[in-house]
C-alpha cells in the first residue's frame, strides 16, 4: 500500500482550500532557476546542487538553460555595467511568475567593488526578493534563501502576477514594481498592490 492510499484513507474525498494556496504550493515546490552565473558565487551555486548539499530536496535543482523555462534568477556575483542590460534582458525574457535572489555581497551592494565598472547592487536593475550576504555565501545559505523564497511565494496572490510583453515590461515604472498590462494604471497599481511589498519572514523579524 503506497502513500497515496494512506492519505486517501485519512482524508475525505473532497477538500476545500483557497485557489491561491494550491497555486502557490505548486509554484513553490518547483522553483526552477535560470542557468546564470556571474562570478565566484556561481561556484557555490553549482555546489548547492551537488550531492553533498542537494538543492533538489527543495524542488529547485533544475537549472534551465533558457530563461523562458525559468522561475528564479539567482544573481550570483558582481554585475558589471556592461552586463547590466544583458541581465535585465534575461529577466524580461523570463515569464511570470518570476523571482530574483541576489546572492552574495557583490550582487547585493557592489561588495568590495566600489567603482565605476560595477553596479552597486542588482536591485538597481531588477526587483530582488531575497538577499543573501556572504562572500561567497555557503551553499546552505543559498538553500536557506530558496526556502525563504518559498515562504514568500506562499503568501502571494496569483492576481498580483500577470504576464506582460517584454517591450511593455521595459517601459514600466522600474525595478521594484511589477509592470501591468494597462499603462494607465501603472502608478495606481504600483502604490496599492505591490507584490514585492510582502514582507518575508526575515523582514518581519527585523522590523519587530
Query: In the complex, which residues of this chain contact other proteins (CB under 8 A)?
Result: 81-82, 84-85, 88, 114-117, 119-120, 124-125, 174-176
Minimum distance between the CB of residue 97 and other proteins, rounded to whole angstroms? 21
Query: Nearer to other proteins by C-beta: 60 or 109?
Result: 109
Q: Give the residue among 167, 159, 27 at the shortest CA–CA distance from 98.
A: 27
What's the burial of 151, exposed, middle or buried (CB within 10 Å: 0-12/13-18/19+)?
Answer: middle
Minimum distance, C-beta of residue 181 to other proteins, in the bound complex (Å): 21
Q: How distant is the alpha carbon of residue 21 from its chain centre?
A: 18
Which of the 8 DSSP states describes residue 80?
B
- The DSSP code sequence of 9-46 is HHS-S-----HHHHHHHHHHHT-PBB--B-STHHHHHH
C-beta closer to other proteins: residue 62 or 169: 169
Of 140 and 174, nearer to other proteins (C-beta) is 174
Q: Which is nearer to other proteins, 85 or 183 (CB)?
A: 85
For the bound state, the minimum distance from the C-beta of residue 109 to other proteins, rounded and expressed in Å, comes to: 12
DSSP-derived letter for residue 57 is G
Smallest distance, other proteins to C-beta of residue 81, A: 5
Which lies closer to other proteins via its Cβ, residue 18 or residue 82? 82
d(CA 56, CA 79): 27
Q: Between 101 and 118, whose beta carbon lies closer to other proteins?
A: 118
CB 119, min distance to other proteins, A = 5
Instruction: For the CB of residue 147, give the shortest distance to other proteins in the complex, in Å.
Output: 29
Closest by Cα among 113, 103, 112 to 136: 103
What is 89-110 written as a DSSP string?
A: HHHHHSPSS-EEEEEHHHHHH-
* Intra-chain end-to-end CA distance of the chain, in Å: 47
Amino acid at each position: 500500500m503506497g502513500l497515496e492510499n494512506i492519505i486517501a484513507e485519512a482524508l475525505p474525498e473532497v477538500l476545500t482550500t483557497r485557489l491561491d494556496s494550491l497555486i502557490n504550493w505548486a509554484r513553490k515546490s518547483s522553483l526552477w532557476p535560470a542557468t546564470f552565473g556571474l562570478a565566484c558565487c556561481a561556484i557555490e551555486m553549482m555546489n548547492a546542487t551537488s550531492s553533498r548539499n542537494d538543492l533538489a530536496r527543495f524542488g529547485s535543482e533544475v537549472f534551465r538553460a533558457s530563461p523562458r523555462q525559468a522561475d528564479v534568477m539567482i544573481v550570483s556575483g558582481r554585475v558589471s555595467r556592461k552586463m547590466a542590460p544583458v541581465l535585465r534582458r534575461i529577466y524580461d525574457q523570463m515569464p511570470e511568475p518570476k523571482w530574483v535572489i541576489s546572492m552574495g555581497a557583490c550582487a547585493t551592494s557592489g561588495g568590495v567593488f566600489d567603482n565605476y565598472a560595477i553596479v552597486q547592487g542588482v536591485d538597481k536593475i531588477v526587483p530582488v526578493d531575497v538577499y543573501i550576504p556572504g562572500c561567497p555565501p555557503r551553499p546552505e545559505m543559498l538553500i536557506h534563501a530558496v526556502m525563504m523564497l518559498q515562504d514568500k511565494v506562499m503568501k502571494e496572490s496569483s492576481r498580483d502576477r500577470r504576464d506582460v510583453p517584454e517591450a511593455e515590461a521595459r517601459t514600466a515604472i522600474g525595478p521594484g514594481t511589477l509592470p501591468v498590462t494597462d499603462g494607465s494604471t501603472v502608478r495606481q497599481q504600483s502604490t496599492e498592490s505591490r507584490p514585492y511589498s510582502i514582507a518575508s519572514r526575515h523582514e518581519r523579524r527585523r522590523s519587530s
